Structure 1
């Protein structure tokens, strides 16, 4: 995990109250960039033989929507934009070998 990824990961956990398993189960579709909100509706855990499992949370009250503060959203947007550019560049280098 690079510094940018670590910074945003721990900031999101700290500022939203999400649990580790909830954060690891997030998809892009769970993030609303217009309203600065995250929909928490699943959790990741480890099953038999180390297999990763994604399930609904244990209790209905664990399914919720939480707000991002504006600074966290700015950092998140910046980091994800940087990652997308890096991925595109790696792919371009692979295609143009």
Structure 2
């Protein structure tokens, strides 16, 4: 209810939400995906991130997932940022420096 003024309601806008939901567009994804999510995210439930990761893994699509139990919507703690950004750099090296 907190964000209804920004995004609308499930009752009135549910069909639109279904249309734009990323889970309904995973077949369009071509690039590898790195998902970073805080388990305490008040805006996007962690289950939604895990649903995307699971669906991509079932399709054998390259996906990496990093979950932080002590973060919310965004990374605040320095040690988590260092870990996440290091893993992102490794991810980019792996996928962007490959020979075509």
TM over 0.5: no
State the TM-score, normalizing by the size of structure 2: 0.32
Greater strand fraction, Structure 1 or Structure 2: 1
